[in-house]
């Protein structure tokens, strides 16, 4: 399997996956295409920029077996891009079809030339008791081993390759499904076992109900649990068709997503927006200018017959999902994924809960570049967790000064600090002092380190002392740590209002300290 990561930010990444039917740039959203009852032409999706779709191999087998084998899945559904096939674990259960086993499904997916076939899994769903969830995970792993038997036999037969050769670039990329849902130790076990079996591409199963319950924090936990063991492998998230879930999952390092949300929501008169969904009959205006919304008003939408309305709504929904992926990719390129996720989190309290959970996780730093060409923006206290800020504070925590006197001064808009007129004045008055500026987000900034990213390249919100109370307390914490590490005889602090208030709450323990009032004339 070839999966090349090109750009990263947080744990998000832009990658290139090589398949039998061309390269797929990730993150990618794969709309669900029904093999029998599809209302939007798959080729329309391709024209819209969806280079991959997912369809159901089980339903295809039941309804079009011979035709599908003869034509191949691409011609059968008329799509010349990348086709992933879900082996239909849910449907097999739903119809109680015991005749279809993992080997049959594996052979069939090979026969129809699926690019990304999925093993026949046993979805744990959500809120399944632990004992049964364990049985389902074991059954999925058993299926995975049976599938590998089929793959090896096929590779032997075709290429006379060694039986242990799992990654045949001319063949499909097999997808191992991680089950376990909210039982995180099962998610962990499932991931480790699938990796041992030899899968290179993973899919996280059973998150649909978790997402429907808006339990984004649990979703984040599930993704983080799986990612820990397979950080560099591509990871698919099943059933993620909501822009909020997609943005969170991309930030945590999921690469592909699929959903039928575009059509399911459309049938339910639901209109996807970048921040959630709206009921069509609750809208007065259409907050979108896609080709569908540009030519229809809400009134026109409502007066359409049901099938036209469903199709038009579904097309709009697809445009929004495409937009979401494009915006996320650009945010990764710009190194602004953090800002984007925080913005998204402001649109739903449950997403903010998830962000609060992941904000300090090491994975958020894993793909964040050390140097960025664009300034980091800091708005409020959550931005103290921005990986660039954390990394900077950790660096300063190891800084040791050779000076015996120290002066602290508020960060200025003009950066680096040594190029500001304030600094020029200060070094005249305080010759030989260790000069530092301080920031609510970066903590202490020794002048020697003030031209390092993001100290030299950020823009922060300096206003609203009350809002920043937490951050000012963080400055005092940083000051204390800095003074503990270095043993200065004399300390001078130019304290702005926020820091003065904070110092009143948390006095510094030093016997030679001068606190001078700093009036910020920028306000
Ligand atoms: Zn639209």
- Looking up residue 411, the CATH number of its domain turns out to be 3.40.50.10630
Q: How far apart are CA 445 and CA 457, in angstroms?
A: 13
Active site residue 115: no
pLDDT-based confidence at 169, cuts 50/70/90? very low
Distance 249 CA to ligand 1 centre (A): 23
Distance 246 CA to ligand 1 centre (A): 18
Asked whether residue 444 is assigned to any structural domain, the reply reads: yes
**pLDDT reported for residue 168:** 45
With H, G, I as helix, E, B as strand and everything else as coil, classify residue 53: strand
Answer whether 379's CB lies under 8 Å from 432's CB.
Answer: no
46 with 124, same domain? yes
- Mean pLDDT computed over 397-407: 96
Q: How far is the CA of 272 from the centre of ligand 1 (A)?
A: 8
Considering the domain boundaries, does residue 322 fall inside one?
A: yes
20 C-alpha vs ligand 1 centroid, how far in Å? 33
Distance 35 CA to ligand 1 centre (A): 26
Which band of pLDDT confidence, cut at 50, 70 and 90, is reported for residue 96? confident
DSSP assignment of 356-415: HHHTT-THHHHT--S--SSPEEE-SGGGGGSHHHHHHHHHHTT-----SEEEEEE--SSS
Q: How far is CA 202 from the centre of its chain?
A: 16
Neighbouring CB atoms inside 10 A of 185's CB total 11
- Residue 290's φ and ψ, nearest 5 degrees, are -70, 165
DSSP state of 451: T
Are 185 and 278 part of one and the same domain? yes
Is the pLDDT at 465 greater than 80, yes or no?
A: no
Same domain, 271 and 172: yes
Per-residue pLDDT at 234 exceeds 70: yes
CA of 218 to the centre of ligand 1 (A): 30
In a domain, 367, yes or no: no
**Direct distance between the N- and C-terminal alpha carbons of the chain, in angstroms, rounded to an integer:** 56
Cα–Cα distance between 499 and 107 in angstroms, integer? 68
Tell me the residues surrounding ligand 1 (ion) with CB < 5 Å: 288, 290, 292-293, 316
Average pLDDT, integer, range 255-259? 97
Catalytic hit among 9, 75, 80, 86: 86
Q: Are 254 and 396 in a shared domain?
A: no
Q: Residue 213 pLDDT > 70, yes or no?
A: yes
Q: Give the pLDDT confidence of 420-429 residue by residue, as tens digits.
A: 999 999 999 9
- CA angle, corner 465, sides to 460 and 467, nearest 5? 80
Give yes or no for residue 162 having a pLDDT over 70.
no
Query: What does the pLDDT read at residue 523?
Result: 47
Helices (H), 252-305: 261-267, 291-295, 298-303
Q: Considering only 315-319, 468-472, 480-484, which range has the smallest mean pLDDT?
A: 468-472
- Specify the CATH number for the domain of residue 180: 3.20.20.105
Residues 250 and 207 in one domain: yes
pLDDT at 479 exceeding the cut of 50? yes
Residues 132 and 176 in one domain: yes
**What is the residue-averaged pLDDT of the chain?**
92
From CA 64, how far away is CA 520, in angstroms rounded? Answer: 73
Structural domain ending residue among the three candidates 307, 330, 358:
358
* Centre of ligand 1 from the C-alpha of residue 316, in Å: 4
Asked whether residue 105 falls in the same domain as residue 57, the answer is yes
Band (470; pLDDT cuts 50, 70, 90) = low
Give the phi and the psi of residue 67 in degrees, each rounded to 5: -60, -40
In angstroms, the CA 387 to CA 468 distance is 19
3-state DSSP of 115-133:
CEEECCCCCCCCCCCHHHH
Q: Quote the ligand 1 centre to 322 CA distance (angstroms).
A: 11
Residue finishing a domain among 358, 382, 400? 358
Kindly give the distance from the C-alpha atom of residue 259 to the centroid of ligand 1, in angstroms, as a whole number: 18
State percent of the chain over pLDDT 90: 80
* Contact status, residue 508 vs residue 476, Cβ threshold 8 Å: yes
Are 405 and 302 in the same domain? no
Q: Is the pLDDT of residue 451 over 80?
A: yes
Q: 434-439 and 443-446: which strand pairing?
A: antiparallel
Choose one of 358, 391, 411: the last residue of a domain.
Answer: 358
Where does the pLDDT of residue 292 fall: very low under 50, low under 70, confident under 90, or very high at 90 and above?
A: very high
Contact 3, 233 (CB under 8 A): yes
266 and 137 in a common domain: yes
| Rounded CA separation 158/168 (Å) | 11
What is the whole-number distance in angstroms between the Cα of residue 325 and the centre of ligand 1?
A: 15
Residue ranges making up the domain that contains 423: 373-517
Same-domain check for residues 311 and 437: no
The total number of structural domains in the chain stands at 2
Q: Which of 156, 255, 158, 252 has its CA nearest to residue 200?
A: 255
> Which pLDDT score is estimated for 488?
96
pLDDT in tens, 276-291: 999 999 999 999 999 9
The rounded Å distance from CA 207 to ligand 1 centre is 27
Q: What is the mean pLDDT of residues 342-364?
A: 96
Give me ligand 1 centre to Cα 266, in Å. 12
What is the reported pLDDT for 381? 84
* Same domain assignment for residues 350 and 399: no
CA–CA dist 305, 245 (Å, integer): 31
Q: Residue 522: inside a domain, yes or no?
A: no
Asked whether residue 67 falls in the same domain as residue 151, the answer is yes
């Amino acid at each position: 399997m070839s999966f090349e990561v090109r750009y990263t930010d947080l744990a998000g990444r832009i990658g290139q996956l090589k398949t039998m039917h061309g390269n797929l740039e990730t993150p990618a959203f794969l709309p669900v295409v029904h093999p029998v009852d599809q209302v939007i032409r798959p080729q329309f999706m391709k024209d819209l920029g969806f280079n991959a779709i997912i369809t159901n191999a089980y339903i295809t087998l039941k309804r079009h077996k011979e035709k599908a084998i003869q034509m191949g899945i691409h011609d059968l559904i008329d799509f010349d891009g990348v086709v992933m096939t879900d082996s239909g674990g849910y449907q097999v259960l739903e119809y109680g079809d015991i005749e279809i086993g993992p080997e049959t499904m594996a052979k069939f997916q090979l026969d129809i030339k699926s690019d990304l076939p999925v093993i026949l899994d046993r979805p744990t769903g959500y809120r399944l008791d632990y004992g049964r969830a364990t049985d389902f995970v074991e059954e999925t792993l058993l299926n995975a081993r049976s599938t590998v038997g089929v793959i090896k036999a096929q590779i032997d037969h075709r290429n006379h390759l060694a039986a242990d050769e799992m990654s045949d670039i001319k063949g499909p990329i097999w997808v191992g499904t991680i089950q376990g849902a909210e039982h995180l130790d099962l998610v962990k076990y499932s991931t480790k076992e699938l990796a041992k079996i030899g899968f290179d591409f993973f899919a996280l199963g059973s998150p649909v109900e978790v997402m429907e319950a808006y339990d984004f924090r649990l979703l984040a936990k599930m993704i983080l649990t799986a990612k820990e063991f397979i950080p560099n492998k591509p990871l698919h998230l099943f059933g993620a068709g909501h822009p909020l879930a997609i943005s969170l999952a991309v930030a945590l390092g999921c690469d592909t997503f699929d959903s039928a949300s575009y059509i399911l929501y459309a049938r339910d008169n639901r209109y996807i927006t970048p921040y959630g969904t709206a009921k069509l009959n609750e809208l007065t205006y259409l907050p979108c200018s896609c080709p569908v919304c540009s030519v229809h008003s809400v009134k026109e939408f409502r007066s359409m017959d049901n099938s036209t309305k469903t199709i038009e709504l579904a097309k709009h929904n697809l445009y929004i999902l495409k937009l979401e992926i494009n915006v996320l990719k650009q945010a990764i390129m710009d190194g602004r994924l953090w800002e984007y996720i925080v913005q998204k989190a402001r649109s739903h309290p449950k997403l903010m809960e998830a962000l609060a959970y992941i904000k300090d996780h090491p994975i958020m730093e894993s793909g964040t570049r050390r140097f960025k060409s664009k300034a980091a923006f800091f708005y409020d206290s959550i931005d103290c967790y921005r990986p660039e800020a954390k990394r900077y504070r950790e660096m300063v925590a190891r800084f040791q000064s050779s000076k015996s006197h120290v002066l602290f001064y508020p960060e200025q808009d003009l950066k680096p600090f040594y190029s500001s007129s304030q600094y020029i004045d200060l070094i005249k008055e305080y010759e030989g002092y260790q000069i530092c500026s301080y920031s609510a987000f970066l903590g202490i900034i020794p002048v020697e380190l003030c031209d390092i990213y993001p100290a030299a390249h950020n823009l922060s919100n300096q206003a609203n002392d009350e809002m920043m109370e937490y951050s000012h307390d963080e400055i005092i914490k940083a000051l204390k740590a800095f003074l503990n590490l270095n043993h200065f005889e004399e300390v001078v602090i130019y304290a702005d209002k926020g820091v003065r208030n904070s110092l009143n709450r948390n006095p510094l323990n030093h016997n030679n300290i001068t606190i001078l009032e700093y009036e910020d004339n920028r306000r």
